[in-house]
């Protein structure tokens, strides 16, 4: 160890002592951050002393997979270094290496944040990088998934001897493998499992030619067996394949076939954890163990005794007779997996905690891509409690799911337990920074020995009289364009807002989806929604619409109501920039979008003639849009530096019946006035004389006011 690294380690020891002894906090990232400032090459120096190491990354499942793989590797080697607490940035890995020095560790197993792989892999040079999956997550921090893919690919190029073990069922992972020369070890589930596919996936487009992929079967999200009908790109042949996947009363059991040699080696695996995502996590951990030099014989024993870190998936049994299951989920895919578990257990009481701190991402649009509607299948759902810094947004999401049970705003788990009958189970699902307080509160309640049991039955909201049906010649037709491609910003919430607010007033309506490759028919459309997506997906939609631009142009010129969000807004103009490439738009609006050097990210509020109250939302765009002389903005930004381009003070465009905007969140649920403007516009265009009956917008306005306070500071 060179003197500089030795001094850095001593400074890290002092930082850990001060953090844990004086501040009474976990060591976490602080020791590593101190050490790296003094010795930037510390990971390479200390990691180079290990005989071998593996790194695990991906959107979901990193901590569970890393802990399980580390346990299996430790069983065979004894000396193990691992950042088990989930401190997965460069400083967290450095902290783990500093703390373990001199302890005889021979093997390393590290969880790494996706964006930090480019700094960790070249320094550590592990045997393998295990890539679990890629889903949208914290878009205001990570950007689009394309950016995450670029970072991981660059990390692998800088560590060419590192093998890439990747989830081949995920085309977003497989596309990275196709771009790099590192040895590839694809793994996946090699049979249909009969699971319900998610309503929304992050990308089902070919990495080679951008055509829509065909799937033989889908497990969830974009994970499954796929093939491109246009160019033939398909899921790679699996080196490790899960087969005979069977759901048992206690979890899953399956076989993992090692197909790397001429003769398959089969490993039977049983796990007491439910959820198909755990099949992937367990299989990935086994692959990491084998690539890290471990023995498959040690794996099942490690799996049998493994407990997820930090209270994840744990059941707490309280003296009051309650039991509480705590689950972490930080993006739509993770939440959907937890929703499936609640359904599998016939849950009666559910608590959802949503924060919007830096580590969570400040944009909460993603909650509208959670399939909460699946909870309607529960036989006796009695209450849904919502908590966290953005509990009002979650309450609106639950309201629009129409679960048929009361919604209670709570301050924490103990508060939620007031609404849970004695002897019943509460299922808690919390996002990233909301989860540790949930676990801390549950541990406190367990130590307390007695839990305040002032049971307050949830207040069932009074049911008003069913609205009188509004007589229309035909239902309002709401057309959602390409939700299979443009799905980044919770546009399902915009559709829900339009359809529910019609339904609650007795106005007949129907929602038609136009998917990629389908014929576009707007002849009898009343409201059209064009959302936003990743660059690759947006480009595919642009090509699709360019062949049918006359239909969009005729609809707009005929006064049709159209809501265009972010990328959809840009598409309506003359052109927009994708990297250094100019992409021709539809020329429907007189707007142009160039590329900015930075992204405009944050909560926004604008004053608009569309409704009496300010419109709130969240922007996240690099494009700088300028309106032509004949166009007018949707509104004036109340915060300097936000809006179309951050300079002229305008946000969006209001062109006859067209509302184009960078605001998501999504925009309509928190701004019912905008929703009603679109509905009224559609009815007037058809000559219908319908006065929109007032609705109870108390939850919507609470969510609006929270966003307003965040945006304006008042």
Per the annotation, the verdict on 209 as an active-site residue is no
| Options 566, 621, 655, 704, the catalytic residue | 566
Task: Show the CA angle centred on residue 624, arms to residues 586 and 526, nearest 5°.
Answer: 40
Task: Supply 664's token pair.
Answer: 């998501």
Choose among 657, 467, 477: nearest CA to 561: 657
Burial (CB < 10 A; 0-12, 13-18, 19+), residue 344, is exposed
Q: Label each residue of 6-57 as H, E or C.
A: HHHHHHHHHHHHHHHHHCCCCCCCHHHHHHHHHCCCHHHHHHCCCCEEEEEE
CA distance 418 to 459: 12
Per the annotation, the verdict on 109 as an active-site residue is no
Task: List, edge to edge, every strand of the sheet that includes 653-655.
Answer: 509-514, 476-481, 527-530, 561-565, 658-661, 653-655
| Beta strands 184-189 and 240-248, pairing class | parallel
* Helices and strands per DSSP (H, E), number in the chain: 22, 29
Which neighbouring-strand residues pair with 110?
Answer: 55
Choose among 12, 140, 700: nearest CA to 396: 700
| Options 427, 621, 664, 704, the catalytic residue | 664
Distances (CA, A) of 470 to 464, 504, 688: 17, 11, 10
Which neighbouring-strand residues pair with 605?
Answer: 616
CA distance 653 to 671: 17
* DSSP summary character for residue 614: P
CA distance 78 to 106: 8
| Cβ 130 vs Cβ 55: under 8 Å | yes
Active site residues: 566, 664
């Amino acid at each position: 160890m060179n003197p500089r690294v030795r001094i850095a380690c001593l400074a890290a020891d002092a930082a850990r002592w001060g953090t844990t002894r004086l501040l009474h906090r976990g060591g976490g990232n602080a020791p590593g951050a101190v050490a790296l400032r003094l010795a930037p090459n510390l990971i390479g120096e200390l990691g180079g002393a290990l005989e071998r190491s593996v790194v695990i990354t991906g959107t979901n499942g990193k901590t569970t997979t890393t802990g399980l793989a580390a346990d299996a590797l430790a069983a065979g080697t004894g000396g193990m270094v691992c950042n088990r607490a989930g401190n997965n940035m460069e400083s967290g890995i450095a902290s783990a290496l500093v703390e373990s020095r001199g302890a005889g560790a021979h093997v390393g197993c590290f969880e790494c944040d996706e964006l930090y792989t480019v700094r960790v892999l070249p320094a550590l040079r592990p045997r393998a990088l295990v890539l679990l999956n890629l889903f949208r997550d914290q878009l205001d921090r990570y950007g689009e998934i394309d950016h995450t893919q670029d970072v991981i690919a660059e990390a692998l190029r800088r560590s060419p001897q590192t093998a890439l073990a990747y989830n081949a069922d995920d085309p977003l992972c497989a596309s990275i493998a196709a771009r790099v020369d590192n040895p590839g070890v694809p793994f996946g589930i090699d049979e249909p499992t009969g699971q319900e596919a998610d309503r929304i996936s992050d990308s089902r487009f070919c990495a080679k030619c951008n055509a829509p992929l065909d799937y033989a079967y889908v497990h969830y999200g974009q994970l499954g067996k796929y093939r491109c009908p246009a160019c033939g790109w398909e899921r790679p042949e699996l080196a490790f394949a899960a087969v005979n996947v069977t759901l048992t009363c206690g979890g899953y059991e399956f076989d993992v076939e090692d197909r790397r040699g001429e003769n398959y080696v089969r490993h039977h695996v049983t796990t007491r954890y439910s959820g198909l995502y755990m099949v992937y996590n367990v299989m990935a951990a086994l692959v990491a163990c084998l690539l890290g030099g471990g023995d498959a014989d040690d794996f099942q024993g490690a799996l049998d005794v493994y407990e997820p870190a930090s209270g994840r998936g744990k059941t707490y049994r309280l003296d009051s007779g309650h039991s509480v299951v705590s689950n972490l989920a930080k993006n739509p895919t993770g939440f959907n997996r937890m929703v499936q578990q609640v359904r599998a257990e016939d849950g009666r009481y559910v608590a959802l905690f949503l924060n919007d701190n830096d580590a969570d991402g400040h944009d909460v649009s993603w909650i509208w891509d959670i399939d909460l509607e699946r909870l309607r299948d529960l036989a006796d759902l009695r209450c849904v409690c919502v908590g966290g810094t953005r509990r009002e947004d979650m309450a609106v999401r639950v309201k629009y799911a129409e679960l048929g049970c009361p919604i209670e705003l709570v301050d924490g788990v103990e508060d939620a337990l007031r609404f849970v009958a004695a002897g019943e189970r509460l299922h808690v699902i919390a996002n990233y920074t909301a989860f540790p307080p949930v676990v801390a509160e549950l541990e406190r309640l367990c130590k307390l020995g007695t839990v305040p049991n002032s049971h307050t039955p949830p207040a069932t909201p009074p049911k008003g009289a069913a609205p009188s049906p509004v007589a229309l010649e035909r239902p309002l037709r709401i057309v959602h364009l390409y939700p299979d491609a443009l799905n980044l910003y919770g546009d399902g919430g915009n559709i829900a807002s339009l359809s529910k607010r019609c339904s609650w007033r007795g106005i007949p309506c129907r929602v038609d989806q136009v998917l990629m490759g389908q014929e576009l028919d707007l002849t009898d459309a009343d409201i059209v929604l064009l959302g936003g997506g990743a660059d690759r997906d947006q480009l595919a939609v642009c090509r699709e619409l360019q062949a049918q631009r006359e239909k969009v142009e005729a609809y707009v010129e005929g006064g049709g109501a159209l809501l265009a969000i972010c990328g959809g807004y840009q598409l309506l103009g003359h052109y927009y920039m994708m990297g250094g490439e100019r992409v021709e738009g539809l020329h429907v609006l007189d707007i142009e979008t160039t590329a900015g050097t930075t992204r405009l990210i944050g909560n926004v509020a604008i004053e608009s003639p569309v409704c009496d109250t300010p419109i709130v939302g969240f922007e996240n765009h690099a494009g700088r849009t300028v309106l032509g002389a004949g166009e007018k903005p949707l509104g004036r930004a109340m915060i300097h530096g936000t809006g179309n381009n951050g300079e002229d003070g305008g946000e969006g465009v209001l062109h006859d019946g067209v509302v184009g905007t960078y605001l998501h969140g999504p925009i309509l649920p928190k701004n019912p006035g905008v929703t009603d403007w679109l509905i009224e516009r559609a009815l007037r265009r058809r000559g219908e004389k319908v006065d929109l009956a007032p609705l109870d917008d108390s939850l919507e306005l609470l969510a609006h006011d929270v966003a307003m306070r965040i945006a304006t500071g008042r």
